[in-house]
């Protein structure tokens, strides 16, 4: 039973891209990267909760994904390339222009991108 459960767990980790695929006894742990849709939803969630632009970047929730403020800024710049927001950054000051007015619009926009 223990062996089966361990096998199921490693299988699930491989399915979610956390471990390399294969049947071997040892598998490499793959580097984790937050999915852009998740980053967009978290950024908008923080913004809509009333956090300012710099506060969104420095929020501790990003640490759940192993991101520090510099990583968050890089991720937001990637989102800007997709047209999900506009990021202007100079030194320690960052200005974010939000493309969508609410979470429903964001989800609709993300769904439309998936359909293309």
pLDDT greater than 80 at residue 44: yes
Greater confidence (71 vs 16) lies with 71
Say yes or no: 74 and 49 in one domain: yes
What pLDDT does residue 91 have?
Answer: 86
Say yes or no: 21 and 58 in one domain: no
Domain that holds residue 76: 36-115
Residue 96 neighbours by CB under 8 Å, 6+ apart: 43, 47, 53, 56, 76, 85, 86, 87, 88
What pLDDT does residue 25 have?
Answer: 72
Strand partners, 98: 85
pLDDT greater than 90 at residue 53: yes
Domain count, the chain: 2
What pLDDT does residue 84 have?
Answer: 95
pTM above 0.85, yes or no: no
**pLDDT digits over 72-100, tens only?**
999 999 999 999 999 999 988 999 999 99
- Kindly state the percentage of the chain with pLDDT values over 90: 62
Say yes or no: 64 and 80 in one domain: yes
H/E element, 95: strand 93-98
Say yes or no: 18 and 65 in one domain: no
Kindly state the tokens that stand for 91: 């030194």
């Amino acid at each position: 039973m223990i062996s089966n459960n361990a096998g199921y767990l490693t299988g699930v980790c491989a399915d979610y891209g956390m471990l390399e695929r294969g049947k071997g006894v040892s598998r490499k742990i793959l580097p984790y990267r937050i999915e852009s849709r998740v980053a967009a939803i978290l950024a908008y969630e923080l913004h809509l909760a009333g956090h300012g632009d710099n506060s969104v970047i420095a929020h501790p929730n990003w640490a759940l994904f192993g991101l520090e403020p510099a990583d968050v800024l890089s991720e937001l710049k990637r989102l800007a390339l997709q047209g999900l927001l506009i990021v202007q950054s100079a030194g320690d000051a960052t200005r974010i222009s939000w493309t969508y007015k609410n979470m429903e619009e964001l989800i609709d926009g993300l769904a439309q991108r998936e359909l293309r």
